[in-house]
Amino acid sequence: MAILTLLWIPPLAVGVKLLNTDGCVYATNNKVGFGGLFGDHRGQWLLRYYGKLSCKSSLEAEIWAIYCGLTITSEKVMPISQSNPT
């Protein structure tokens, strides 16, 4: 098994928020979940959300995570940036 190190890079512009999302299906028990968090230019968490689904697709869980994050963004009028971690 390989060890993977991940690095989160905050947005460079002051006042810009970043939305990170994820969704998954656990193969052993077929439980499906999704979630996300908003971060600021300092790397501080501002808000998190999560939920359970009854679907069987990880793609659907990913889409729900994005949908919920964008819904929160529109309700709170949060400008977000796209990250390109290359």
**pLDDT tens digits for range 1-58:** 788 887 777 777 888 888 899 999 987 888 899 999 998 888 888 899 999 998 878 8
Number of domains forming the structure of the chain: 1
Model confidence pTM above 0.85: no
Assigned domain for 52 exists: yes
Burial class (CB in 10 A: 0-12, 13-18, 19+), 7: exposed
Amino acid identity for residue 12 in this structure: L
- State the average pLDDT over residues 59-77: 89
Assigned domain for 3 exists: no
- What are the angstrom distances between the C-alpha of 24 and each of 3, 17, 45, 49, 50? 20, 24, 21, 14, 11
Tokens of 9: 């890079």
Q: What is the span of the domain harbouring residue 31?
A: 17-80
CA distance 33 to 25: 7
Assigned domain for 65 exists: yes
The reported pLDDT for the residue numbered 85 is 47
